[in-house]
Amino acid sequence: MSWTRVSAVLPAVLAACAKVSTVGAAADAGPEQPTVAQVEPTPGPAPADARFVVHFSSAMDEGQLLAASGRSETVALAAEADVERAAAALAHSPLSAHERTLLVPAAAEVASDRSSITLTPDQPLPAGNFYLLVSPRLKDDQGRKLAGNGARFEYQIAAPPKHARLLSPAAGAQAPTNLAVVRASADSGRVSLLAPDGTQAAAADAQGEVALSLSGPLAPGARFVLALDGVADDAQFFTVAPCARTAAPAFQGGSAQLAARDTSVDVAVMLDWPALIEVRVGSADQGEPCSGPCVTAKAEILCAPPACGPQTFACSGAVRVGGLNPATAYALRVVAQDDEGFSDTGPLQPFSTVAPLPRVLISEVKVSPSTGEYVELLNLGPGAADLGSFALVGPDGVVRPLLAGAPPLPVLLAPGARALAVGSSFDATLYSTLPPQTPVLRAKTKRLLGRGLAAKEPQAFQLGLDGQVPVELADFPGGITGCSTFDLQRDETVPPDGQATWSCGPDGGTPGLPP
């Protein structure tokens, strides 16, 4: 099966109206056969966030345009390295699970008149060459085969331009006249801060975050602009307020909020000014933390409070201190130091870690359909986890046990095993691949978290142990968008207390199975 290649260079009259046609269609197709009438964008350079539209000369068979998964397996995107195998796969039906991995994951939407289809990639495309493929199998709603032998359209996605951004002060914010350090970030290049007269006030080579030190007081009303490799970015600026910062960072409520786990403690603070916080943890019986053996952790809190006038506690941050012993009494102290040379020390705060906790992950979240939504749990071991006391805590703060009632016998999840937390209305028949031995934990409510998980932007929630003081075991960050499969999967190589990435899972999810 041969494919028509449409290059990025088109005749001028066609490029002007963004229309393309399959080469050879006139030779082997009658006038009644449907054709590819137009594609958007015009083949050639395209932005990373482009949406791709294929227009046909007549209404097409929607059953061929959309597979059962809701995605298209006849109009698709493929990277240059996969294009030949993907093109061959699209020439037959149906695609295998492996062949689907050759396609760029993209949501597909057919127009109401069925004369066009739009592909929206789940993620911005990386730099490189990509091809929009049209299968030769397509027919219109009259059963007439698409003219030609299929088509492909080439697009070049350029690497995103290098960019530097202000971290503190934030872009558009005001800074005090005694600002000592400007914090910025860039992947690479020379980052510089330009004074109002265009001269360079400070500069540094960047590979991530950089600190630009200023040599003296700034003039009220002055406007400073960030530049990368000598090119100024007018959106990355700050102005100087008519005042100086003369107070140390202050803690809201005078102290930090603590949440102890078995081998760590989460320390959350609210400050009135950006600062570097250091948490010092030592044994409760040694008095001042770090007067003996201790554990420390640091975090930068960056924010943009008003430089003058009343201050608000709008600067929030958290740090997790690990390496602690279970069921042990500790004390900690938090120190906040800003770039202007001021510091504040919080009070001595005693706390105790809890007994050893099971190492359980929220490994997968399926948010659609409503009768099939589930939260998959993975026990990392080394011991079995008793699921009878597990619960989910949503944004409303309500603790909802995974089980509607106390089981007659303990529900144990073996190391390496997976379980599903579901609502009482969960329909297991939706998932033919669900291993029969997978525990399905049905809650009291029909849907998870009472009203279910939002499909477009699922809310954050935590997995914990129910009790007088709920203990958090794992969390789902929420707010993840753009997954047309409605399936979200965690990077299981990251430990439970690490910041793991979440990605779009396959159609139908992988309940009870590894990703």
* Rg for the chain, CA atoms, rounded: 29
Between CA 479 and CA 498 the distance in angstroms is 18
Q: Are residues 260 and 403 in the same domain?
A: no
Q: Hey, what amino acid is at 160?
A: P
Q: Are residues 228 and 110 in the same domain?
A: no
Please check whether residue 264 lies inside any domain of the structure: yes
In terms of Cα–Cα distance, which of 401, 363, 403 is closest to 380? 363
Please check whether residue 83 lies inside any domain of the structure: yes
Q: Are residues 9 and 123 in the same domain?
A: yes
Between CA 471 and CA 391 the distance in angstroms is 10
Helix (H, G, I), strand (E, B) or coil at 205: strand
Q: Are residues 210 and 279 in the same domain?
A: no
Between CA 377 and CA 363 the distance in angstroms is 6
Please check whether residue 510 lies inside any domain of the structure: no
CATH number of the domain bearing residue 79: 2.60.40.1220
Domain count of the chain?
Answer: 4
Q: Which residues of the chain carry a pLDDT beneath 50? A: 1-30
Q: Are residues 430 and 500 in the same domain?
A: yes
Q: Output the pLDDT for position 28.
A: 45
Please check whether residue 247 lies inside any domain of the structure: no
Please check whether residue 140 lies inside any domain of the structure: yes
pLDDT of 389-445, one tens digit each?
A: 899 999 888 999 999 988 887 888 989 999 999 999 999 999 999 999 999 999 999
CATH number of the domain bearing residue 455: 2.60.40
Residues 26-41: b if buried by 16+ CB within 10 A, e if exposed: eeebeeebbbbebbbb
Please check whether residue 245 lies inside any domain of the structure: no
Please check whether residue 500 lies inside any domain of the structure: yes
Here the tokens at position 246 are 């003369």
Q: Output the pLDDT for position 4.
A: 38
Q: Are residues 21 and 145 in the same domain?
A: yes
Here the tokens at position 181 are 């350090």
Q: Output the pLDDT for position 383.
A: 81
Between CA 484 and CA 506 the distance in angstroms is 10
Q: Output the pLDDT for position 359.
A: 87
Q: Are residues 373 and 341 in the same domain?
A: no
Domain range for 210: 164-240
Q: What is the maximum span of the chain, computed from C-alpha positions, in angstroms?
A: 90
pLDDT of 59-78, one tens digit each?
A: 999 999 998 777 899 999 99
Please check whether residue 511 lies inside any domain of the structure: no
Q: Are residues 332 and 394 in the same domain?
A: no
Sign, CA torsion 49/207/479/387: positive
Q: Are residues 152 and 37 in the same domain?
A: yes
Q: Which of 92, 125, 157 is the last residue of a domain?
A: 157
Q: Are residues 170 and 233 in the same domain?
A: yes
Q: Which of 140, 157, 174 is the last residue of a domain?
A: 157
Q: Which of 142, 157, 172 is the last residue of a domain?
A: 157
Q: Which residue has the tokens 């320390």?
A: 267
In terms of Cα–Cα distance, which of 82, 51, 76, 62 is closest to 135? 76
Q: Are residues 333 and 376 in the same domain?
A: no
Between CA 22 and CA 149 the distance in angstroms is 8
Q: Are residues 153 and 11 in the same domain?
A: yes
